Structure 1
């Protein structure tokens, strides 16, 4: 069987109601880089080898849900404090448990974004 090889870059698609508006939110609130090339709108943390593709809903009602987006941070509590200064509201504030620290916020379309403690 022939081996399949993928390159290292990838993106995760997240359905949003307005790609450009969502890109602005990710840039202003989370400090992400962004690129808008027609309908192809992407955002990513500076230096990351991956991107989030903000797929604009074409028609019908957008149904937000648990997208399972998780970002790791070395200092979850400090990250939450900084994001609050930028006006980000948290659904689950900074929480520390026996397995690590976490927090959860929502993007403008109600998609869940988790911030988890980066494993040492």
Structure 2
């Protein structure tokens, strides 16, 4: 039995220089639909052709090529984080909160791959 409860969503987070240009590329090349641009958070999100799977675009001046972080949705990030920390899973600093939008926490697998938990704070989670 898993330590934490995940919902049925995964966001694949990518580091990009220009979220709006990247979103347009994903729309044109792969047929994805832009869900929103959160300019205050430097984040854009697109719906892929797979239910429950989105692409998140985080804007960075110097993006890390090849950087991809799977983001797993959860209804209770704090409980999930606590369970993972008790199992000696390493987290990258405190939980980040964008009020009214999302709560996130980055953690690492045994090989140092970054993963993230996210809790929807918009009240629109399934």
TM-score for both structures, normalised by structure 1: 0.45
TM-score for both structures, normalised by structure 2: 0.43
